[in-house]
Amino acid sequence: MTLDRDTLLRLLKPLLTLLVVGAGVFVFWHLYNYYTYAPQTRDGKIRADVVPLAADVSGRVEQVHVRDNQVVRRGDILFTIDHVRLRNAVEQAEAAVATARATLNAAERENRRYQALSDIVSGQQRDDRRSTAEEARARYAQAIADRDLARINLARAEVRAPVNGIVTNFSLRPGAMPPPGSP
Half-sphere exposure of 85 (CA within 13 A, CB side): 11
Q: What is the per-residue pLDDT for 46? A: 64
| Angle at alpha carbon of residue 69, lines to 67 and 71, rounded to 5° | 90
For residue 179, the 8-state DSSP code is P
Q: What is the pLDDT of residue 117?
A: 82
Give the per-residue pLDDT at 183.
64
In order along its 183 residues, the chain shows pLDDT tens digits of 567 888 878 888 888 999 999 999 999 999 888 878 776 666 666 666 777 777 778 778 888 888 888 888 988 888 888 888 889 999 999 999 999 999 989 999 988 888 888 778 788 888 888 888 899 999 999 999 999 999 998 888 888 888 888 888 777 777 777 766 666
Q: Which amino acid would we find at residue 136?
A: A
- For 89, other C-beta atoms within 10 Å of its C-beta total 19
Q: Tell me, what amino acid is at 148?
A: D
Buried b (16+ CB within 10 A) or exposed e, 35-62: eeeeeeeeeeeeeeeeeeeebebebebb
Q: What kind and span of H or E run contains 71?
A: strand 71-72
